[in-house]
Amino acid sequence: MDQDLWIAVDRYLADNLISSDHRMEEALEANACAGLPAIDVAPSHGKLLHLLARVQGARRILEVGTLGGYSTIWLARALPSDGQLVTLELDPKHAAVAQANIHRAGLSSLVDIRVGPALDSLAKLHDERPAPFDFIFLDADKPNNPVYLDWALKLARPGTVIIADNVIREGEIINDRSDDARVIGTRTFLERLGSHPQLDATAIQTVSTKGYDGFAMAVVKAEA
Ligand SMILES: C[S@@+](CC[C@H](N)C(=O)[O-])C[C@H]1O[C@@H](n2cnc3c(N)ncnc32)[C@H](O)[C@@H]1O
């Protein structure tokens, strides 16, 4: 495996397919200046999320795991002017950096950042009886992904797209003896995704500037 090659190919793809955008670069620089970990999605994956949300015609997006708002900006840019994106973040410092990045990107009117443990925020959100979300992106603490999936289904409608990041974990995902809570959570998540009667799912392995990983994608089926 050749990380240098993956990085070079990702740069080539970004140069050719992802128009240079100083707001995106500014957001990543602001994250680095604030000491946030560089665990945002790769640019090519951010653009993929953006395109998938557009293909979906998403008007309402839910994101679990904001960090500095890099993926949030990609997703919010797929929304119409009356759309809404709710993003959930545990760490107030991450949320503050994200708020500033989203403001600079001119997207504050579309994005609602909620600070606190996502499990609490999801319960509160559900109590508000919101209109269903069209597109849901799970990218927070991986051990909780099976529970986030349960909440996602409560907040979804038939046709909602659910994406989860980091489901391959350098192949560790096939290690059924792993004691890593992220691997265990992801394995449970994938098993639930595959066996749930309301979901049609797949997962893709990826290599990128962020290494060897992958994402899962599911669509909520129409009620039988
Ligand atoms: C992988 S980063 C998100 C990256 C972001 N989606 C992007 O691509 O730009 C995961 C984020 O989830 C947050 N997080 C971790 N545990 C959480 C929890 N229980 N509730 C909400 N957010 C959590 C972390 O603080 C971190 O900012």
For the stretch 49-98, pLDDT in tens is: 999 999 999 999 999 999 999 999 999 999 999 999 999 999 999 999 99
pLDDT at 1: 65
Residue 222 has pLDDT above 90, yes or no: no
What was the pLDDT predicted at 97? 98
Residue range 158-203, pLDDT digits in tens? 999 999 999 999 999 999 999 999 999 999 999 999 999 999 999 9
Task: State the virtual CA torsion across 166, 31, 112, 124 in degrees, nearest 10.
Answer: 60
- The CA 78 to ligand 1 mean position distance, Å, reads 21
Report the C-alpha gap between 76 and 69 in whole angstroms.
Answer: 10
pLDDT the model gives residue 114: 98
In words, the CATH class of domain 3-220 is alpha beta
Q: Are 134 and 60 in contact (CB under 8 A)?
A: yes
Pocket test for ligand 1, best of 61, 66, 70, 99 (most atoms within 8 A of CB): 66
Sequence ranges of the domains in the chain: 3-220
Instruction: For ligand 1, pick from 91, 111, 113, 151 the residue to mutate: most ligand atoms within 8 Å of CB.
Output: 91
Is the beta carbon of 39 within 6 A of some atom in ligand 1? yes
Eight-class DSSP state of 79: S
Q: How far is the CA of 89 from the centre of ligand 1 (A)?
A: 6
The average confidence (pLDDT) of the chain is 96
pLDDT at 21: 79
Rg over alpha carbons for the chain, rounded to the nearest Å, is 17
Q: Please tell me which residue, 3 or 125, carries the higher pLDDT value.
A: 125
- Inform me whether the pLDDT recorded for 20 exceeds 70: no
The confidence score (pLDDT) of residue 2 equals 87
Q: Does ligand 1 have an atom closer than 6 angstroms to the CB of 183?
A: no
Hey, how many other C-beta atoms are within 10 angstroms of the C-beta on 119?
Answer: 17
pLDDT digits (tens, 9 = 90+) for 26-59: 999 999 999 999 999 999 999 999 999 999 999 9
The finding on whether 90 has its CB within 6 A of some atom of ligand 1 is yes
The model's pLDDT over 138-162, given as tens digits with 9 standing for 90+, comes to 999 999 999 999 999 999 999 999 9
